Structure 1
Amino acid sequence: MKRKDRILMVLACFNFIGLCLYFVPEAFYGGDKLYHELLLPIFLGYLLSYLFYMITIYLPEKERYIQIRPKIEQQQYYVYTSLFQLMDELFDQHFHEELLSGTLSEDDFSVALQNKCLNRTYLFDEYAKEYILIGDKLKAVSEKIEIEISRIYSFHDYLFGEEINILGDIRTKLFTYDLDRNAPVVVIDGKEFGLLCPNIEYMYRNYYEIYKLFLQLQKNVFTYKFENRDLVINKIQYYFCAKQYKQCQEVIINKMNEYEEDKDLMMSYYIRCLYEVNDKTGALERLEELFKNKLNILTWRSLFKDIINDKEVKILLEKYYSYKEVSSMQKLINEEKNIIQEFTMKNKRIKKYYEDKTEKQILK
């Protein structure tokens, strides 16, 4: 109920109490005359007006809210997924769980943007081969989000103040920079001078601010009635990575039977939660149940990335799977860890190169 409607309801209650004074004996000389000639018409008039307002405005508006609000929540979910897609592109799709859990820092964004530039006009120095051209992707996703937010704003009467502020800030920050911009060239005395650093590292604070807005939006989306399979999985991953293991287990228990096709995925997070809260016995029991049901350990290798070196886990793996299957899984886990390490090391190397280059130019 809106603040205006609460005030009207309180006033209606006072007027109803005033109307009940009709049955109270006269308290002072002239009281009945004052009540019947002045106060009673006011009380009756307000209550009749309030009744008319409830029937013609409030109840129809409430019915529209009940019908429209789920669509608004669904549309905000689409903004949320598009924002995640944008963030995922910035991190080369390597930090899925970290993005959801809110554990990434400003420095992480600075490092992630080192190997990215807007378009081909920036491919002019030693690191040109390392760069990913990302300007068109950022623009496409940003425009998609803007359209989604515009659709939501068409129902602004059914939005809360916090939602309006978050969506407005997202739309503004997405277009802080010109994503079509070509590399500038300045000609002095017939010589061409370009940028010292052609990557988009200068945008990292802006995208970190968008990331914080993404996390605020995620918090809201998780409280909405709207739900689908992807949102449930995101909740599970968020609670696990945020070390909220109890909430993670509750979501899994409540939703596992509802999403049968994702039962193995949910159980893998449930087992990881048990490990994190030191219930190793329970974790091993459920892990063996999965093995008995012929869990594809290559597909669900993420379950083992933190527990692969556990002696008892190794014994169970050797009991139910061949040496080749276990070795293949171990190889994939190591390769994925190496890819992430190489991404971070390479980008830190690029960052250091341009910092040194800038410092030398300043000293000149």
Structure 2
Amino acid sequence: MTAPARPGRRAWLALVLGSLSAFGALTIDMYLPAMPGMAHELRTSALLVQLTLTVFVVGLAVGQVIVGPLSDTWGRRRPLLAGMALYVTGSLWCALAPSVGWLLAGRILQALGAAAGTVLARAIVRDLYQGTAMTRFFSTLMVVNGMAPIIAPVLGGQLLTFTTWRAVFLVLGAIGAILLVAVAFTLPESLPDERRTPAHPRAILRSFRTLGTDRYYLRHVLAAALMFAAVFAYISGSSFVLQDAYGLSAQQFSLVFGLNGIGIVVFGQIGGVLVGRVADEHALLRVSLSVAVLGSAGVLACALLHLPLALLLVCLFLLVSMLGIVLANATSLALAGHGSAAGAASSLQGLLQFLVGSLAASAMTVSGQVTATAMGVTMVVCSVAALATLRLHHDR
């Protein structure tokens, strides 16, 4: 498979790969408005329901580490098709879960399946593109990635007006089935035989050792992971903060979540237009992370000083909307030097991204409940650390 030249084919490829890469966000965002109701119906605590989010993120990270290196050996299609089938199975399991324990098991299956789409979408882009063209295509993927937080919570919130949270997982299973068919019939193999690595544990370990000692790669992967953690603090905590503390309904929360998703889309596309024309990837990364720091500081100030909800929402928008620019540029810079091991490089990025995100989510619940202050502190620590990471010494 070569990079498509026709605009229509390129748009279709962006739609399919963007949907695959958005699987993690889609599976998280769509059921956020249902979390308080799930706790009530399953007769469990809010913390245990939130654990279904943490378990999913950890499973997503672990799954990427397994799938990524295997795809460098077997190609992208077979692991991707297997992952999509597993995702559909996990979604149906969740929809039928009689208790929170069964729900947790279903979320693990979902996560392992979604990991294939998340890691292999990035690897396929690296197979097909290089340099600024790769950065721009990653920015294009942000359109679909940004649509996930726009559509998912709104759809989830609307479903809750006439049915239960179980329908959310049925819809997720249907989406997974549609993408499974799309991959099977329209997405050819992107990794030729001559570029595949030997199917040997030593070769896989050698790839990870090379990545683990590449300071340039680690610098950009860690910056992306820490930025994602700052946004994940919002993803995992905002449903409780905005609905319980500020009194928003499930539908109002869904609209707020969707507006922030629009920010990801708009600023992601602005970044794609600017890169290579007005600024390079490094400059865009520094500027977007600086804006994220300002937004997170504003969230903490609103929590501590009890400032109006409108100001809090503006600060959240500033933070979240920078995610598209940061991920597109940081991912392109990180993967640029690892074309022969794009699956392993993408998987390690995913592992760090989601593990750091899950740690951020767990840190907010140390006190036993999610508060606006805890969310703000987590955002500030993660965004400042992301910006500081870019100041580390690098070789290129």
Structure of higher CA gyration radius: 1
Question: Which structure would you say has the larger RCO, counting Cα contacts within 8 Å and 6 or more residues apart?
Answer: 2
TM above 0.5: no
Q: TM-score range by the shorter chain?
A: under 0.3
* TM-score, normalised by the number of residues in structure 1: 0.20
* TM-score, normalised by the number of residues in structure 2: 0.19
Structure holding more helix per residue: 2
